A = this chain, B = another copy of it.
């Protein structure tokens, strides 16, 4: 419902939480057509279009991270990995190619652009894809803050995975430690003096996902990457769409010491902090161990863990089991930090 307070766009509308979902549903999806595709109205991380007997998966993201260079990566690596990962989350682990559209501020250093480009090139090599086409726009000084990069990716798959597929009884795997990206960017941006210990996890997950899918064909029921809004936001959306309750075991959650310390210092719950190299994977219970083993055998999945279970009760809700008791986790309104990706 549009109210006067809703008359202007706020930072929360881009922050990956409830405010953004509502804006998209109320405004951006209004009146869009339907057809032989699974698209925007389903609000996966991408769309899937029928092409012969396969699905053409397509996904897009604009990247506005600030600062553009941070420990563990930069906006170029982030753009490539973000798009490769969104494809992978839908079961499309072999990108046909990516597009790259750059918006630059007049006066942006050419050397910085070269660094960003080199990061993109390396991240493409790492994920087995390439930039096939692009676009370059320049805005005047003060009209855009440095650099914005849009990457869009396409891939074919025969095994479409959705973020809505959780069933009661499914186990939830997280492929590694949580909160690394968001806290690394936050610490760098605000020069908190703890940057040395924090490092973004930004990485392409398509090979890891391929391994996981091959370990137990058909057993993966849902995937999502916990970016803006963190694990809490991703699991809320998955629980809501799958109409299951999710119980998360706090003690099972992989969190690095650096992130734990920084989160305590800042009074932020790492459950709500963005990741850029992690996946949340729903798996049938009987295949959970096999899938976990396969993920752990991959260099990016060494710290993967089974962290939760889906229930028929409390559909749409996320419950944290602390070991001492259980409490509901509210869906975050949005990521605590703007321009995290």
Among the stretches A106-114, A212-220, A301-309, the one at the interface with B is A106-114
Residues of chain B lying within 8 A (CB to CB) of residue A117: 27-28, 30
Residues of chain B lying within 8 A (CB to CB) of residue A121: 30-32
| Complex Cα gap A58–B20 (Å) | 28
A142 sits at the interface (CB 8 A): yes
Shortest Cβ distance from A59 into B: residue: B133
Q: Which size class do A's interface residues fall under?
A: 35 or more
Q: Name the distance in Å between A280's Cβ and chain B's nearest Cβ.
A: 19
Given contacts A152-B60, A154-B154, contact A110 B52 (CB under 8 A): no
- The reply to whether B13 and A104 contact each other, CB–CB distance below 8 Å, is yes
- The reply to whether A97 and B60 contact each other, CB–CB distance below 8 Å, is no
Q: Name the distance in Å between A145's Cβ and chain B's nearest Cβ.
A: 4
| Complex Cα gap A44–B135 (Å) | 11
Q: Type the 1/0 row for A114-138, where 1 means its CB is closer than 8 Å to any CB of B.
A: 1001100100110000111111111
Pairs A–B under 8 Å by Cβ, sample size 16: A9-B105, A9-B107, A10-B106, A10-B138, A24-B136, A32-B131, A35-B130, A40-B133, A49-B132, A56-B154, A59-B99, A59-B133, A60-B99, A63-B137, A101-B150, A138-B338
Chain A positions near chain B (C-beta within 8 angstroms): 2, 6-15, 20, 23-24, 27-28, 30-35, 37, 39-40, 44, 46-47, 49, 51-52, 56, 58-64, 66, 96-97, 99-111, 113-114, 117-118, 121, 124-125, 130-140, 142-145, 148, 150, 152, 154, 156, 338-339
